Structure 1
Amino acid sequence: MLKIGCHLSSAKGFLAMGKDAVKIGANTFQFFTRNPRGGKAKALDLEDVAAFRALAAEQGFFPILAHAPYTLNACAADEGLRTFAKETMLDDLQRLEHIPGSMYNFHPGSHVKQGAERGIGLIAAQLNEILWEGQQTTVLLETMAGKGSEVGRTFQELRDILDRVNLSDRLGVCLDTCHVFDGGYDIAGNLTGVLEEFDKVIGLGRLRAVHLNDTMNPLGSHKDRHQKLGEGELGLEALERIINHPALRELPFYLETPNDLAGYGREIALMKGLYQDKTQ
C-alpha cells in the first residue's frame, strides 16, 4: 500500500484534517504546528486530539508529519531568534506527545554569513537542549535546496548535525524531491546513485519520510520552487520511479505541491495508480 498524504490546514483542528485526508483518499498528512510565518500556537484541544486518534486508528493512518514554522532558525546569528526557535520547537514536541508516533520536520536553518560549520554547531546544540529520553516523536532534518546560506544543502551537512547530537536515535531525515534536485542531486537521471550516496553519507535507516514534489527549476538551480506532480523538471516518470524504488517505497510520502484539496486528491489518485503494489 502506498503511504501518501498532503499538506493540510490545521486551522480547524486534527479531526477536521483527518476527515479531509479521508475525503481525498490519503492515509496520512502533514500540517504546520502553528502559523508558518508566525510563532504563537492556539491551545491544544485534547478532545479533538482524542477524536482524531480514534479516526486514525479506524482508518489505518500512517504517522502524520508536523512541520515547524518557516520562521524558526536554529542557527540564526541573533541569540534572541535562536531562543525563539528553541522554545517553539520544544513546545511543538511536547504537544506532539499527545499523538504518539508522530514525526516533526524542520528546516535546519540559515547560518547568515556565519559559515556552515558555525551553523551546524548551533543547530546540534539546540537539539541537544530540547530532545529528551523517552520522547515519542521523531524529529526530521529536511534536505534543503541550498538557496542563500541554508544549512542542509548537502547530505554531509546533515550527517555533521546528526553526529553532534547526543540523542541522535530520536532524529531522522526527510528527503524533499524538489530540494535535492534543486540542490544538485540528480534523482531524475540517477536515482539509485543518489540513494547510494545518501546511504554512504547518512545511512538509509535515517530516511523516514519523503516530501514528494516536482520542481519549477533545473538541476542544481538552488531555487526551491515546488511544482505540481509531472508538470516540472522532474517529470512523472521520475516521480513514478521514486515511489516504487526499493529503498523508498515503504516510506510515507507527503505532497507539498501548489494545490487545493481537490488538486491534492487528483495527485494522490495519480500516484496510487502508478504504485506497484507488491501485495497483489
Structure 2
Amino acid sequence: MLKIGSHVSCADKGLLSAANEANEYGSSSFMIYTGAPQNTRRKPIEAMYPAEGKLAMKANGVEEIVVHAPYIINLGSYKDNTYQLAVDFLQQEIRRTHELEVKHIVLHPGAYTDKDAEYGIQRIADGLNEVLGGTNETEVHIALETMAGKGTEIGRSFEEIASIIDKVVHNERLSICLDTCHIHDAGYDIVGDLDGVLRQFDETIGLKRLGVVHINDSKNPRGAGKDRHTPIGSGWIGFETINKVVHHEALSGLPFILETPWIGKDAKKLRPMYEIEIALLRGNVAERFGAEFLQEVEELHSFFAKQEMDSRQYVLDVWDLLKNDAKAKKADPREPLERLYDNVAAAGLFPQLSEEAINQRLIAWLAGKQVLVNA
C-alpha cells in the first residue's frame, strides 16, 4: 500500500489526536512534532497517549510515521550557546522519537549565518558526531532534509549533504528526507528530468539512504532558492511530476508526506487540501469523494474550456505575472487558486458548496482530465 499522508500537529494534542486527524485525510502515514517546533517546552511522552495513538494507527492501516525535529535546532551556528542548545535538544528529540518507536527524525541541517558554507558543513558534521556519540538509540535515523538554498542554509545541493555524511563517524544512522519543493527551488529539474535527478542523487549520496519524501508544489520557478510551498498542482512543479515522484519505482516503500499550506479566505476556516491531494495521488478519488464530486470536476473542465483556459498554463502564467510585474502584483496579488476560486464563485457555479469543497474540486481540475479516467 502506498504510504502517503500529511504533516499533522502533535505538540499538545498527542499521538492519538494526530492519528485521528491524519485518518480524516485518508492518510496511510503521517509526520508529527513531539512538541512545539519553535520552543524547547516538552511534555512527557506518556502525556501524548502513545499506546492509544499506536492502536488508532493500527486500526487505520498506518504502518510508519515520521517525526520532524524542531526548527530552532541549528547545528551550523557559530554561536556556542546556539550550537550547544542544538546538540542537547536534538539528543533529547532522538530519545523521544525512540520512545514513540519511530525510525526517522527529519532535520534541517543548519545555517552558517555569518560564516561560510565550508564552515557550516564542518560545524554540522561536528554537531552530528556529538549528537550521535551521546545517544544510544541506534534504531533512530536522523533524516537530513534537502534544502531550497534560502539564506545561508546548508543542504541546498546533494554534494553538500554528501560532504556532511562523509564527515560523520556513525553515518549509518543518517538518512535523507527528499523534499520536492526544496530540490526544485535549489535548481534540480525534477519536472523535465526526474530520472536524471534521482540518478544524480544516487551517484552523489545513494538512494539507499532515502528514508522520507516530502511532496510539495512550489510557488517559485526552478532555482529560485525561496522555499514557498503551494498545494499540489497549483505551482511550478505540477501534479504530473508529483504523481511520478510518488509512484516512482526507485522510491517505492518510502513514506510520502504532504506539507502543503492550508488555504481559504476566512482565516477561521482555513483547511488543508490533504484529503483530495492524497486521493488524487492514490487514485481513489471516486471511492473517497463519490460520483457527484467527479461530475462537478467535469463541470469545471467544461466551464474553464469555454474560457479557453488550460489549467497548467494558467498556473504558470499567474506565477509569472506575480514574479515579473510588480505593478500587476500590487494591483492584484491573488495566487492561482484564489483567482480560480473567485472565478467560480462569481459565476455562481456551485452555490451549494463551501469554499473548502470548491477548492477541493479545483485541485482535482488542476490535476487534469486523466484523473477522471483513473478515479
Q: TM-score range by the shorter chain?
A: over 0.9
Contact 1:104–1:138 under 8 Å retained in 2: yes
Contact 2:4–2:278 under 8 Å retained in 1: yes
Q: 2:212 aligns with which of 209, 233, 236?
A: 209
Q: Paired residue for 1:157?
A: 160
Deviation at 1:47, TM superposition (A): 7.1
Deviation at 1:80, TM superposition (A): 0.4
Deviates more, 1:146-155 or 1:26-35: 26-35
Contact 1:139–1:172 under 8 Å retained in 2: yes
For 1:198, give the aligned amino acid: F
| Cα distance between partner residues in 2 of 1:70 and 1:4 | 23
Q: Paired residue for 2:52?
A: 51
What's the RMSD between the two structures over aligned residues?
1.7
Q: Paired residue for 1:4?
A: 4
Structure 2 residue 273 is the aligned partner of structure 1 residue 263: yes
| Cα distance between partner residues in 2 of 1:103 and 1:148 | 26
- Ranges in structure 2 where 5+ consecutive residues have no aligned partner: 263-269, 286-375
**Structure 1 stretches (4+) deviating beyond 4 angstroms?**
none
Deviation at 1:274, TM superposition (A): 7.8
| Cα distance between partner residues in 2 of 1:29 and 1:178 | 18
Structure 2 residue 236 is the aligned partner of structure 1 residue 233: yes
- Aligned residue pair count: 275
Secondary structure of 1:66's aligned partner: strand
| Cα distance between partner residues in 1 of 2:43 and 2:15 | 12
| Cα distance between partner residues in 1 of 2:34 and 2:235 | 28
More helix by share: 2
Q: TM-score of the superposition, structure 1-length normalised?
A: 0.93
Deviates more, 1:114-123 or 1:218-227: 114-123
Contact 1:229–1:257 under 8 Å retained in 2: yes
- Ranges in structure 1 where 5+ consecutive residues have no aligned partner: 276-280
Contact 1:63–1:103 under 8 Å retained in 2: no
Deviation at 1:43, TM superposition (A): 2.5
| Cα distance between partner residues in 1 of 2:171 and 2:271 | 35
Deviation at 1:262, TM superposition (A): 5.4
Contact 2:14–2:48 under 8 Å retained in 1: no
Contact 1:108–1:123 under 8 Å retained in 2: yes
Structure 2 residue 67 is the aligned partner of structure 1 residue 66: yes
For 1:234, give the aligned amino acid: I
Deviates more, 1:172-181 or 1:114-123: 114-123
Q: Paired residue for 1:191?
A: 194
Q: Paired residue for 1:31?
A: 32
Deviates more, 1:257-266 or 1:190-199: 257-266
Higher relative contact order (CA 8 A, sep 6+): 1
Percent identity over the alignment is 40
Q: TM-score of the superposition, structure 2-length normalised?
A: 0.70
| Cα distance between partner residues in 1 of 2:211 and 2:184 | 18
